[in-house]
Amino acid sequence: MTVRTRFAPSPTGFLHIGGARTALFSWAYARKHRGSFILRIEDTDVARSTPEAVQAILDGMNWLGLDWDEGPFYQMERMDRYKLVIQKMLDDGTAYHCYCSKEELEVLREQQMSQNLKPRYDGRWRPEEGKVLADIPQGIPPVVRFKNPKTGAVAWDDLVKGHISISNEELDDLIIARADGTPTYNFCVVVDDWEMGITQVIRGDDHVNNTPRQINMLKALGANIPQYAHLSMILGDDGQKLSKRHGAVSVMQYDDEGYLPEAVLNYLARLGWSHGDEEVFSMQQFCEWFDLDHITPSAAQFNTEKLNWLNAHYIKQADSTTLVQEVSKRLQSKGVSIAAGPELSKVVEMYRERANTLNELVASVVYFYQLPAIDEAAAQKHITPEILPVIKALADQLAVIDWSAEAIHGLIEQAVLQHALKFPKIAMPLRVMLTGGAQSPSIDGVMVLLGRESVVSRIKAITG
């Protein structure tokens, strides 16, 4: 049977990191088995769904490069279909009307809670052989409930967690259509997974408890039961559940912060899944290797340090043109013009091995295009009164020599010898004067790129 997986987010916010991983695994599974990956937008919660959120999800998927073969399907556009199925279930007797008001249910719930019972519907409107139902109250539009089996157990072999079995006694008759006739989540999922021919449902493990209900409905409809794979959740860097308090929860925020999609993808792939000792791999490789057998069933804590390491790796590996474009875009948005400075590609080559993120790279390279702010502490430490005349004299020579790294290096060496100093004694003050700080690539290389004019004027601005 051809594999068909799906990613089914509800558009109530951006695509967060947990959702992205679910999408990634679902996508990879389809790719691995040359099946289809379907995108379905679960937007039946009209009050909370927004078109902006739909767009945010699409943006996130696109940024990561997770392409889908079918969809996006919108559940709101499938209302007619759901209503037909509900009517059929009503006709078949696998669903029934319930006239309980929300208030009644609230009372019931409180009673059960106070007795330390699991709150659930007591089945008062459930038709039963020989049971006499109360008179239908006036003016209360009924909801439709699924007639869940009362005995036995629902079990499935979860592709991640193994065998899971839940007694039907734990389940109640869930509402599948609201009083206004609109279908609810658990029901739409069932109809969609069925009609879209989903073979593997790969989703977050917060859905484990929905699975037995869904399987029961699938059975009532005579549908095939897909396989289920429940992925554990991703915890924040602090080990706490991911929430709005954790800054970077939207995948697009990783873009903003200067992470490459390859790095995020590689990191996410490795979070909860493994292939022996492999740490760094392409998505193509991932799709070949990916399987559900090597997914960890326990929750995983997000680790920004490791993401940084991977990101640094991908920055080093990145295609030069792409990298330059990214850096250029980011410089531009910071209002830094590169027109008057050195060729950006050379600057990027000089710095790409030193940055964890594109933003770090950008920040460390700004001084080529703008006068840097001088770090006070560094200046204090390295620009000493004794060295000032030496540097000043050097500047005069720099103004006239050949402009090459070799010549500049030779000049510094010469000064070093002449004044019986160590190389850093001269390199460090130069570094501070030219770049603003005490860290940079080799100083002669920096000077060559910066250009004679900038070098001399930046030195003179300080030495006078």
* Binding residues among 438-457 for RNA as defined by CB under 7 A: 438-445
* Binding residues among 276-335 for RNA as defined by CB under 7 A: 276-277, 279, 293-294, 296-301, 303, 305-306, 308-309, 312-313, 316
| 151 is a site residue for RNA (CB under 7 A) | no
The least distance separating RNA from the CB of residue 110, rounded to whole angstroms, comes to 11
Matching residue, tokens 């699991």:
118
* Binding residues among 90-129 for RNA as defined by CB under 7 A: 100-102, 105, 109, 113, 116-120
| 84 is a site residue for RNA (CB under 7 A) | no
- Which C-beta is closer to RNA: that of 48 or that of 334? 48
The least distance separating RNA from the CB of residue 426, rounded to whole angstroms, comes to 9
Q: Which residues on neighbouring strands pair with residue 37, listed in sequence order?
A: 5
The correct pick among 186, 285, 317, 345 for binding RNA (CB under 7 A) is 186
What tokens appear for 189 in the block? Answer: 């999922």
Catalytic residue among 88, 102, 241, 244: 244
Peptide bond into 141 cis (omega under 30): no
* 244 part of the active site: yes
449-454 — which CB contacts under 8 Å span 24+ positions? 449/342, 449/346, 449/347, 449/350, 449/368, 450/342, 450/368, 451/341, 451/342, 451/403, 452/398, 452/399, 452/403
The correct pick among 3, 58, 208, 399 for binding RNA (CB under 7 A) is 208
CA–CA dist 188, 183 (Å, integer): 7
- Which C-beta is closer to RNA: that of 6 or that of 431? 431
CA–CA dist 80, 76 (Å, integer): 9
- Which C-beta is closer to RNA: that of 147 or that of 161? 161
Q: Which amino acid is at 335?
A: G
CA–CA dist 343, 57 (Å, integer): 36
The least distance separating RNA from the CB of residue 199, rounded to whole angstroms, comes to 21
Q: Tell me the HSE value of 42 on the side-chain side, using a 13 A CA sphere.
A: 17
| Residue 145, SS3 per DSSP | strand
What mask, x for binding RNA by CB under 7 A, covers residues 232 to 271?
A: xx-x---x-x----------------------------xx
* Binding residues among 393-432 for RNA as defined by CB under 7 A: 409, 412, 423-424, 427-428, 431
CA–CA dist 19, 25 (Å, integer): 10
| 353 is a site residue for RNA (CB under 7 A) | yes
| 272 is a site residue for RNA (CB under 7 A) | yes
The correct pick among 2, 48, 245, 329 for binding RNA (CB under 7 A) is 48
DSSP category for residue 169: G
Catalytic residue numbers read 244
